[in-house]
Structure 1
Amino acid sequence: MNLQKKVDSLVFKSNNESIETIICMSYMDNYDIAYSDVISFFSKEEIKYFENIKYDKRIKSYLLGRYASKNAVGKLLNINKLDEITIENGILGQPVVYEKSGSGVQVSISHCNNIGISIAYPPLTSIGIDIEKIDSEKYDLLYKVITDTERMLIEQHDIRDRHWMLTLMWTAREALAKCIKTGFTVPLDFFSIKDVFEKNQIHYGCFLNFTQYQFMCFEQKGYLISVVYPKKTELLHGGEKSLKLKEAKV
């Protein structure tokens, strides 16, 4: 099958309790994929939805997102048959997971170009993920929707790094919107970033209004991936290596 994946475990700690999550990146070299490959991992409900999608861009994003999220859920719950997992859209467009055990596991999904990414996590926490391509041509457009505080953070960097920082801010905002399951249904200024710092080649930061959350951001071959998670939670030692997703040929 043309769809490929890379799966890693991220373990967080909260109140001395370990929280295992699974992050999965899916990707395709080209758009050519056999229908038999699709129905091998889609549930009956997903096949019906898929057959009614009209536009190629949406078909691709649905394939990548569902393949990544179902592999993440399957790995977390030890489910080998992906067609036993159904991921539907909730009232606000958020992904909702259905599987036989009724574990309550949740996922966050993002996609960009030929890449999909998802993180599966237990219901006792809340996590959001987003991926964006670093594209200097989008600089002016994105610069218009950030706050003065965020502009000051960007201007502290060299000119050549400013579009990188702007992409970081956009992915962190998107990941937060997915984490709290609202999407951008509220003013964008609500998602304003307060601070950003770097540690071990990963950028971390916090938000001005949503002080209960923090984010991490890392680069993967021209793309930035942001993960938002509760501030009272920390990524256990060794997580930086998992975040690099070194085997993914994106």
Structure 2
Amino acid sequence: MRLSDAIKIQTFELVRDRASGSFDLRDVLSATLVVIDLDDLAPEAREELIVQLLNEGELTRRDSFEHARRRDSYTHGRLAAKIALQSHWSEIDPRLISIESGIFEQPILSNVVGENVSNLGVSISHSDRLAAALIFHRGHPMGIDVDLPSEDDVGPVLDGLDRETREMCATIGLSKRDTASLLWVARESLAKTLTTGMMTPLDIYAPSEITHKVDHYVLGYRNFAQYQTYVWSGGSGWLAITLPARTRFKNEGPEWS
């Protein structure tokens, strides 16, 4: 299995109808998405990537996790992020950059030596099968989530919905599991963008609208009108990307299946 079969890299351009902020939009309106299909990533290829991309500090933290599941999720998320960083900024040596954890466990890029990456942000997500990372400019905040909720997750997601959200979901014609998947990844990606995690009442992330496009959905929010979330469905997982509300993808956005 070639690495290219297991790793998908997409850099896409973004468009805003109206400029804001003091930064150069040419530097801001682009992002790089990396998704690793863990089922297709051979063990020897995984170890090769670890050697190529992770630095001593990251390896030390990786080895500090007692449980294999937590150790693997850390490793796979960091690998996706380092590949995305290298693809977004080709001149950079990913081993000279550390991906640290903030006080809310949010990933933060930090330079060990050399290039300053303080203007870049990273969002990381992983499921049983997929690991994903998004590199973007911190002046244009974004967040990502990938997941494939199980049937056991449907009840906890849908049972707490208010009447307005239930009625909204009924109009999009999805099964209960797909509806739960849509809402799950959307609010996870929004929470990552806001740096709240899932530490606030879930109804604060309630959608104000859910629009079905040709191959994806777009959600707006009652309490966070400044953001929107694009969601794509897929057999191995759902993908959500949250970005500022007046921003759109220049072309079709990331491919997902």
Common fold, TM-score beyond 0.5? yes
Counterpart contact for 2:92–2:115, Cα < 8 Å: no
Identity %: 21
- State the partner residue of 1:119: 134
SS in 2 for 1:72: helix
Report how many aligned residue pairs link the two structures. 242
The alpha carbon displacement at 1:243 in A equals 2.8
* Runs of 4+ in structure 1 over 6 Å off: none
- State the partner residue of 2:50: 38
1:9 aligns with 2:24: no
Counterpart contact for 1:132–1:224, Cα < 8 Å: yes
1:181 aligns with 2:191: no
Name the stretch that deviates more: 50-59 or 16-25.
Answer: 16-25
The alpha carbon displacement at 1:135 in A equals 3.0
Q: In the TM superposition, what are the counterparts of 1:2-151 in structure 2 within 5 Å?
A: 4-14=6-16, 15=18, 17-18=25-26, 19-29=29-39, 32=43, 37-79=49-91, 81-99=93-111, 100-103=114-117, 104-151=119-166
Structure 2: unaligned runs, 5 residues or longer: 20-24
Question: TM-score, with normalisation over the residues of structure 2?
Answer: 0.86
SS in 2 for 1:49: helix
Q: In the alignment, residue 113 of structure 1 is paired with which amino acid?
A: D
Question: TM-score, with normalisation over the residues of structure 1?
Answer: 0.88
Q: In the alignment, residue 172 of structure 1 is paired with which amino acid?
A: A
The alpha carbon displacement at 1:149 in A equals 2.2
- Distance in 2 (CA, whole Å) between partners of 1:95 and 1:136 is 29
- Distance in 2 (CA, whole Å) between partners of 1:132 and 1:215 is 15
- Distance in 1 (CA, whole Å) between partners of 2:71 and 2:211 is 37
When you count strand as a share of all residues, which structure comes out higher?
Answer: 1
Could you list the per-position Cα deviations for residues 137-195 of structure 1 after superposition, in whole angstroms to 9, with x for gaps in the alignment? Answer: 3211211233322211222344x623212211111100000001111222111111111
Q: In the alignment, residue 101 of structure 1 is paired with which amino acid?
A: E
SS in 2 for 1:171: helix
SS in 1 for 2:154: helix
Structure 1: unaligned runs, 5 residues or longer: none
The alpha carbon displacement at 1:200 in A equals 2.3
Alignment RMSD (CA, Å): 2.2
Counterpart contact for 2:129–2:236, Cα < 8 Å: no
Could you list the per-position Cα deviations for residues 190-215 of structure 1 after superposition, in whole angstroms to 9, with x for gaps in the alignment? Answer: 11111111122111110110010001
Q: In the alignment, residue 13 of structure 1 is paired with which amino acid?
A: V
The alpha carbon displacement at 1:20 in A equals 0.9
Name the stretch that deviates more: 10-19 or 59-68.
Answer: 10-19
